[in-house]
Chain A
């Protein structure tokens, strides 16, 4: 007893306690629900068996039924478009802004700080705000596009099946840009100034410095930002709820929103859990990339 006590106070025991507390916490509140979710995707679930853990095992039946639904592949394709375009847009705009603010002009840090506002706002509020911007008849976006001559008649972003997904993507790009910019700014600030000076003397133009110094030095940050972006984008739910509700006719529906619809609108918990399980698999792959890219730092 005494030995255990002294080990906890000044030995290895202390480290174990430090690691143990969060580990137990994670297992209890993240691990168990995940396992429960995966388990549910292999079971037959109805409203009466909802409270139980051990329900009839049905193998891959839920998966087969899900794949057979006519909307399955269109929604998966929407998800892919949503994820790729959101991440791409957020990253490119975020990188551009990060490089811009990294020039360090007067007030650059202050203005950069203001960008965090988009981060603080709840998704539902952002969605509501963008609903106005995207509105077909009085929206600012249509006004801008028509005044620079890109469109000749109003686009009904939220109710046109050709644009509804893009309405959410545009909003999500706006929402995620600040996060990308902040992380990329940290990465840029970590590149020593004298590398650019050495490159200038070696004969590099600004463009060449960007491609031969900035881009390779940002590789690990980029990997981390994109992996995290993938995770956050797959989690994006509020914007769909606020802007299109997945419609019209599933034209803007994506996996995460569909899972919610199946579980809590149609009370088909098994299929909802099945979609979630597929997404868990994708996120786990992304996590591996994230961990790898943060480990492969090329600095110093």
Chain B
């Protein structure tokens, strides 16, 4: 089945003078998809989003929106709406005027524009704030107005640039669900920029991990979690972050010896190159405390942090290995424990290229 594409980027490059901000970006976004662009600060997420919006002109490659090449199409002809991190509400206009701004530019009759805006306002809980100015609203309300202004236009594509980063934690969790529900109801295509991998994982159908202007890996959220293509993606996706330990594969490539105290040997799920230096990745939630025995890591507890539902244990001399426990255990700092892990949950990376083996 070939799905209809909404946005297509072929080898897109962006230079700011000598600085190469986007490098050979390949991205195909199907109609109706919710795509998250995620990566550390400064990796080019906003640049990519703004290029799709037309606010930045790309230096090379080809960009298509619904099969039309838009490299040189100005933002107002692209039929995309954007929710800015700063919200960018028009401060001299009331909420209703902010919402109807695009309609008024299109010379929509006044009554009709107001009706559309009121409907949208009702769906996102703004109906009582229509005559207020942005300065009279809370952060969360401004955020809603910014979304409402985008929705009123019924655009082909919604672009979000870290829309929740100025909200407090609980509101952020709530808005996450609301934005996703809104996306599903409108049947829109959304591109959502965030530096928060949890937002990306929970909201998106398709996650694009970026680093230094390059797409490091893209795929379904669980695919990135289960099969990270590189040590960077492995460390970025998942919380708390994956543990990385140096190791060497054994003589027949079926097990790996960790270079930590006791030199424990872990069985591998499949055969790899023998006698090779590797970086072993172990997710904190895959490690469990078990009875001492074959294929276990014997170590000492150095830190315990409990949130009630979850316990984070730091093991090894500097808390180098993190373990997440969802059930309570009778343990304390200084205890010696044995950790075990399923062979299928062991990730191996090449220490030089940092790519998955």
Contacts and interface: CB of A to CB of B under 8 A. Distances in A.
B90 A200 contact: no
Contact of B86 (A192, A216, A298): A192
Interface residues of B, number: 26
Contacts of B101: 199, 202, 212
B53 interface: yes
B55 interface: yes
Interface in A152-191: none
A198 B106 contact: no
A295 to B, nearest CB: 15
On chain A, which size bracket covers the interface? 20 to 34
B143 to A, nearest CB: 14
Contacts of A212: 90, 101, 105
A208 B35 CA distance: 32
B92 interface: yes
Contacts of A195: 88, 90-91
B312 interface: no
A19 B54 CA distance: 53
A248 to B, nearest CB: 49
A200 B75 contact: yes
A298 B74 contact: no
Given A200-B75, A203-B106, A300 B135 contact: yes
Contact of B105 (A194, A202, A217, A219): A202
Given A194-B86, A195-B90, A299-B91, A201 B81 contact: yes
Given A202-B105, A212-B101, A194 B84 contact: yes
B300 interface: no
B45 interface: no
Interface in B24-61: 53-55
Nearest to A300: B135
Interface in B60-80: 74-76, 78, 80
B5 to A, nearest CB: 21
A204 B55 contact: no
A81 B149 CA distance: 46
Interface string B123-150: 0000000000111000000000000010
B76 A298 contact: no
A204 B91 contact: no
A205 interface: yes
Nearest to B84: A194
A216 B92 contact: yes
Residue among B105, B134, B153 having the largest count of chain A Cβ atoms under 10 Å? B105
Contacts of B133: 298
Interface in A126-169: none
Contacts of A71: none
Given A202-B101, A204-B105, A298 B91 contact: yes
A99 to B, nearest CB: 18
A12 B88 CA distance: 41
Contacts of B74: 200
Contacts of B89: 198
Contact of A198 (B82, B92, B135): B82
A300 B76 contact: no
Nearest to A215: B92
A197 interface: yes
A291 interface: no
A213 interface: yes
Interface in A204-223: 204-205, 208, 212-213, 216-217, 219
B311 interface: no
B102 interface: yes
Residue among B75, B89, B133 having the largest count of chain A Cβ atoms under 10 Å? B75
A213 B84 contact: no
Residue among A198, A204, A208, A213 having the largest count of chain B Cβ atoms under 10 Å? A198
Contact of A197 (B88, B92, B134): B88
Interface string B98-111: 00011001100000
A201 B53 contact: yes
Interface in A74-117: none
A203 B81 contact: no
B88 A192 contact: yes
Given A202-B149, A300-B135, A194 B88 contact: yes
Nearest to B76: A203
A197 B76 contact: no
Contacts of A194: 84, 86, 88
Contacts of B76: 200-205
Nearest to B83: A198
Nearest to A194: B88
13 contacts: A192-B88, A195-B88, A197-B84, A199-B90, A201-B78, A202-B102, A203-B106, A203-B153, A204-B76, A208-B105, A217-B91, A217-B92, A298-B92
Per CB-CB distance, the 7 closest pairs between chain A and chain B, nearest first, are A194-B88, A202-B102, A198-B88, A200-B75, A203-B76, A216-B92, A298-B92
Interface of B: 53-55, 74-76, 78, 80-82, 84, 86, 88-92, 101-102, 105-106, 133-135, 149, 153
Given A192-B86, A201-B55, 7 more contacts: A200-B55, A201-B53, A201-B78, A203-B76, A213-B90, A298-B133, A300-B135
